[in-house]
Amino acid sequence: MIKVVVCGALGRMGSTVGRLVNESSDLELVGGIDLKEGSFYGVEVVDSTRIGTFLAGKKPDVLIDFSAPAATVATARAAAAAGTALVIGTTGFTPEQRAGMAKSIEGAVPAVISSNFSIGVNIFWKLVREAARMIPGYDIEVIEAHHRYKKDAPSGTAKTLLQILDEELGVREKIYGREGMKERGREIGVHVIRGGDIVGDHAVMFSGNFETIQLSHRAYDRAVFAHGALKAANWVVGKKPGIYSMYDVLSLK
Ligand SMILES: NC(=O)c1ccc[n+]([C@@H]2O[C@H](COP(=O)([O-])OP(=O)(O)OC[C@H]3O[C@@H](n4cnc5c(N)ncnc54)[C@H](O)[C@@H]3O)[C@@H](O)[C@H]2O)c1
């Protein structure tokens, strides 16, 4: 059995991951980490200041993290020191935080990092890349919608979409929302919606004269991300140290 600790255990994603690990036959839930101590699915949740001694005592094979950017940087450092593999789903890192995290991981432990663990979104990313290659002249708008509690904007998934478009088309200016009088240029429009309990919607519109192609993905339940994270946890244990993506896990490269 692969032993799992969840960081952000008491949050929306962490508790979903905990439930699915608890129900899984090949993974064993051995603990959680959050800002406050408590318990979930019959195991202890410790406060994050105790992460070092907790990992040394529980000896998990993998730590799954869905918490907050600064927390994840510290968690990655502690997991790397403990030799624990990582699955990181947190989004909203600054470039400095991302670099700090990579420095802890490289040469120490294997880690799967993805802004979206759903299988459908990983396929959607590939389709968007393909479309951008085929119709580079079309106008592009990226739209995403999430629940009212989501703090980072645009979403990590939308940022990955923008990165894919930049890789295929060259870096274009991004316009975040539109207001006032301005003619459209070669920019990419980015539109963010926050409200209610929307789990996660993303769309990319490619518009030419007389037609629009719209590629989109809708998540109905956050269990879809948790299922992908569990798949990544099963895959990452025993891999060589370094940073991997869901494309590696799903053999989509
Ligand atoms: N990659 C994906 O597929 C995917 C999918 C959904 C959400 N996310 C991301 O996962 C993250 C969490 O999302 P959520 O909706 O569960 O948020 P949430 O606010 O419900 O949960 C975050 C949890 O992290 C805890 N936390 C904060 N600081 C901490 C620290 N220092 N140490 C330990 N725990 C700490 C919070 O107390 C909270 O319980 C966000 O960054 C979100 O964008 C990623």
Q: How many distinct structural domains can be found in the chain?
A: 2
89 Cα–ligand 1 center, Å: 8
Query: Which residue minimizes the CA distance to atom 15 of ligand 1?
Result: 12
pLDDT tens string 148-190 = 999 999 999 999 999 999 999 999 999 999 999 999 999 999 9
> Do 193 and 102 have their domain in common?
no
**Mean pLDDT, range 99-126, rounded to an integer:** 97
Domain that residue 36 falls in: 2-113+222-249
> Do 29 and 101 have their domain in common?
yes
168-185 burial, b at 16+ Cβ within 10 Å, e below that, comes to eeeeeeebeeeeeeeeee
227 is annotated as an active-site residue: no
> Do 204 and 241 have their domain in common?
no
> Do 125 and 215 have their domain in common?
yes
Q: Is the CB of 89 under 6 A from ligand 1?
A: yes
pLDDT tens string 56-67 = 999 999 999 999
**Mean pLDDT, range 176-205, rounded to an integer:** 97
**Mean pLDDT, range 124-150, rounded to an integer:** 97
> Do 188 and 226 have their domain in common?
no
Among 64, 91, 124, 155, residue to substitute to test ligand 1 (most atoms within 8 Å of Cβ): 91
Q: Is the CB of 35 under 6 A from ligand 1?
A: yes
The residue behind tokens 């030419």 is 208
- In the three-class reduction of DSSP (H, G, I as helix; E, B as strand; rest coil), residue 63 is classed as strand
Annotated active-site residue in 150, 159, 202, 217: 150
Mean per-residue pLDDT of the chain? 97
> Do 106 and 129 have their domain in common?
no
> Do 6 and 108 have their domain in common?
yes
Give the span between the Cα atoms of 210 and 9, in whole angstroms: 49
> Do 59 and 148 have their domain in common?
no
Output the pLDDT for position 164: 98
The CA-atom distances, in angstroms, between 230 and each of 104, 157, 160, 226 are 22, 19, 21, 6
Output the pLDDT for position 253: 81
90 Cα–ligand 1 center, Å: 6
**Mean pLDDT, range 187-195, rounded to an integer:** 98
> Do 214 and 234 have their domain in common?
no
33 Cα–ligand 1 center, Å: 11
Q: Is the CB of 225 under 6 A from ligand 1?
A: yes
Give the span between the Cα atoms of 77 and 84, in whole angstroms: 10
> Do 202 and 233 have their domain in common?
no
240 is annotated as an active-site residue: no
Output the pLDDT for position 97: 97
> Do 67 and 26 have their domain in common?
yes
Q: Quick one: which H or E segment has residue 234?
A: helix 223-236
| Residue type, position 64, single letter | I
Q: Is the CB of 199 under 6 A from ligand 1?
A: no
Task: Quote the percentage of the chain above a pLDDT of 70.
Answer: 100
Output the pLDDT for position 20: 98
> Do 137 and 17 have their domain in common?
no
Paired tokens of 225: 């991300």
Alpha helices in 7-153 (DSSP H): 12-23, 51-58, 69-82, 95-105, 119-134
53 Cα–ligand 1 center, Å: 22
CATH at 164: 3.30.360.10
Give the span between the Cα atoms of 140 and 129, in whole angstroms: 12
Output the pLDDT for position 151: 93
